Structure 1
Amino acid sequence: MLYHIFLFLVVLVLVERGSFAASPLEIVSVNEQLAHTEAVRNDETNQTLARTNFERLERLSNRSRYVARSCKEIRDRYNLREDGLYYLTTANGMVYQTFCDMTTAGGGWTLVASVHENSIYGRCTVGDRWSSQQGNNAALLDGDGNWSNRNTFGTAEGATSDDYKNPGYYDIAAEDMSVWHVPNNFPLEHWNLAAILRYHTDNRFLRLYGGNLFQLFKQYPVRYNVGSYNNRGPAFPIVYDHGDRESTRLLYGPNSRGEFQPGFITFRAINNERAAMAICSGVKPVSGWNTEHYCIGGGGYFHPDQCGDFPSFDWDRLGKGQGWSASKEMTEAAVLLFYR
């Protein structure tokens, strides 16, 4: 565009001189000037972009200087309100990086874990860190035991592409939880907008269980043959930040919808085969024992067709939303767990 404007001006000048014809030397000179102008402009643009990227990276790197145990402490102590990756420090001085949600319901939410189904067809195989990577084994009732141990794995930035657990899972003393269901493989900067569901608790229930899920599952272990249907763990109401009870209900199979009440988060729900799921995220079982179709995580021993981080979300064909199968949207979304 600038080239054509410049050329038009040259033509006007030539017209004013009484000539429509320009010599070859004049045309070459004009082209050289245009090329020089464009090169200068591109160089200035590249320098501006490089300076902007450097300033952004420097600003992000400076976050490592903040000292805090949680995103809430970073928000309160340093008055930072931008979502993104931050550095936290455990009580023992270990420094780790995680994602902070600084905007939802006042902000200060620390990402501590994600449950990502590596292969819905795999039955307690590699990648099923929240159930068992050692197969469906009656001798390993707790499976990998990661709901109640200090193992850590994965990265915050890759939390929608693989399982994730950081030291905050057991180190932070929190009051509430937030949960995001984010489609697999979405980049961190788009998690908020991409989430099919986002909700949180506001009743400070974690104070009753030691301040985190590590302590809660010490009290309510996830293992086989834990007792009757009525012996499941606690359930708490949630506040929706994106989605609602009806959209939650429709994300699971039609048979499952008659067994739960949406609008809750439930811990250690027991199924008909006496295996305990870790979390029913977004729902509370009320009239059935088929929790493997709408709850996640668990131990290392299930019915053979149920084992895995998403134990039996594909019972009636993967992602078809029919019978007992969860929807494709729910099956192919990572469950991100936050504390505050």
Structure 2
Amino acid sequence: MSFWSFLFLTCMVVRHVSGVARSCKQLKDEMQMESSGIYMLSTEHGMEYQTYCDMVTDGGGWTLVASVHENFMLGRCTVGDRWTTQQGNSRNTKGGDLNWINYRSFGTAQGATSDDFKSPAYYDIIAENMQVWHVPNLAESPTWSETAILKYHTANNFLTNHGGNLFNLFTTHTLTQGETLSQTDTAQTCTVAHGPSYQIVYQEGSREMNNASVRAFYGPWADEEYHPGWIQFRPVNNEGAAMAMCSGVRACGCNVEHFCIGGGGYFPEATKQCGDFSSMDNDGYGVGKKWSATREFIEAAVILFVR
């Protein structure tokens, strides 16, 4: 490939816009950018960074803020588990790496389906709604929308009640509990401790996307533990450990480690629960039986947008 061909392709991949915007919504509304892809944005304080913009769904303007990617299910809370902890399961670090509530960023937008990703947009943008795509690992960004196994978003402006972003939401709904529940009725205790939940709108895709498709991905024993058609934050399990979010469902039971992701740095049942995808392999990796999720679900990154 010639130098000029390489330069042309590079310019096509990352879109530089004169007067860098704060969000993809601003690019869409004020600069009439119509194509989804990698763009340059700027924080309130002028730091420029790359992220992905979805300019199509529900009018477009969605900014990619993070991805949760499980690279090794057996590596419980070790290197790579940035959304729980890379320090190992410990009572001394109940908050883990605190990436849900700090200003650290990591990964790249292009690599969001290959590794964990967190951009400055996560804490910098003030938004109203959230969008989630479950995209197969290693998928390239131009194919994300068409290859996603699930796509949905909220339409109730719930983030306005939580400071406008996930950073502020998790600052209030802390993930550092990690204490075994001592009350007699643990089910009642943990369900009361569950954080807020909001209904979702399924998006059209290359496959049917609805409540039934959500149930198809989680283990059948979890069916009575959740209601599909929602997204929930800070669910708490029987042992008192808090996950970050249940993606596509709202917990009505307490075995949330089998269908929720992320969390703090301490899980009482460490060898079974600690990790970004927690205990989705409880009865075998990707077998889709008992408590185990399907391989298709485990091997897909959960990518998070706001608008």
TM-score, structure 2 as length reference: 0.91
Matched residue type, 1:174: A
The offset of 1:334, in angstroms, is: 0.3
The offset of 1:232, in angstroms, is: 1.3
Partner of 2:197: 235
Change (3 A) 1:104 1:124: same
Which moved further from structure 2: 55-64 or 79-88?
55-64
Matched residue type, 1:282: G
- Secondary structure of 2:244's counterpart equals strand
> Of 199, 203, 209, which aligns to 2:156?
203
Q: Which protein has the larger Cα radius of gyration, Structure 1 or Structure 2?
A: 1
Whole-angstrom CA distance in 2 between matches of 1:312 and 1:269: 14
Matched, 1:297 2:273: no
List alignment gaps of at least 5 residues for structure 2.
182-188
The offset of 1:225, in angstroms, is: 3.0
Whole-angstrom CA distance in 2 between matches of 1:278 and 1:62: 32
Partner of 1:33: none
List alignment gaps of at least 5 residues for structure 1.
1-45
The offset of 1:55, in angstroms, is: 4.9
Instruction: Pick the structure with more helix per residue.
Output: 1
Matched, 1:254 2:220: yes
Whole-angstrom CA distance in 1 between matches of 2:27 and 2:241: 39
Matched residue type, 2:266: Y
Equivalences for 1:253-272 in 2 at 5 Å?
253-272=219-238
Change (3 A) 1:205 1:314: same
Tell me the C-alpha RMSD between the 2 structures.
1.7
Q: Deviations over 1:102-133 (max 9, x none)?
A: 00110000000000012111110100000010
Matched residue type, 1:111: L
- Secondary structure of 2:170's counterpart equals helix
Matched residue type, 1:297: G
8 Å CA contact 1:66, 1:87 repeated in 2: no
The offset of 1:52, in angstroms, is: 7.3
The offset of 1:193, in angstroms, is: 0.8
8 Å CA contact 1:120, 1:314 repeated in 2: yes
Change (3 A) 1:55 1:135: closer
The offset of 1:185, in angstroms, is: 0.7
- Secondary structure of 1:324's counterpart equals coil
May I ask how many residue pairs the two structures share in their alignment? 292
The offset of 1:54, in angstroms, is: 5.2
Equivalences for 1:57-72 in 2 at 5 Å?
57-58=10-11, 63-72=16-25
Equivalences for 1:164-203 in 2 at 5 Å?
164-203=117-156
The offset of 1:272, in angstroms, is: 0.4
TM-score, structure 1 as length reference: 0.83
Partner of 2:244: 278
Whole-angstrom CA distance in 2 between matches of 1:213 and 1:220: 10
Matched, 1:96 2:22: no
Partner of 1:313: 280
Matched, 1:225 2:179: yes
Whole-angstrom CA distance in 2 between matches of 1:272 and 1:99: 37
Change (3 A) 1:192 1:226: farther
The offset of 1:91, in angstroms, is: 0.6
Matched, 1:148 2:115: no
Matched residue type, 1:296: I
Whole-angstrom CA distance in 1 between matches of 2:237 and 2:172: 19
The offset of 1:53, in angstroms, is: 6.6
Q: Deviations over 1:139-165 (max 9, x none)?
A: 100111100111100000000000000
Whole-angstrom CA distance in 1 between matches of 2:297 and 2:74: 15
The offset of 1:66, in angstroms, is: 3.7
Whole-angstrom CA distance in 1 between matches of 2:146 and 2:64: 16
Which moved further from structure 2: 217-226 or 288-297?
217-226
Matched residue type, 2:84: S
Which moved further from structure 2: 51-60 or 152-161?
51-60
The offset of 1:65, in angstroms, is: 2.4
Q: Deviations over 1:230-251 (max 9, x none)?
A: 1211000000014111000110
Q: Deviations over 1:290-323 (max 9, x none)?
A: 0000000001111121100000000000000000
Matched residue type, 1:318: Y
Change (3 A) 1:81 1:175: same
8 Å CA contact 2:180, 2:239 repeated in 1: no
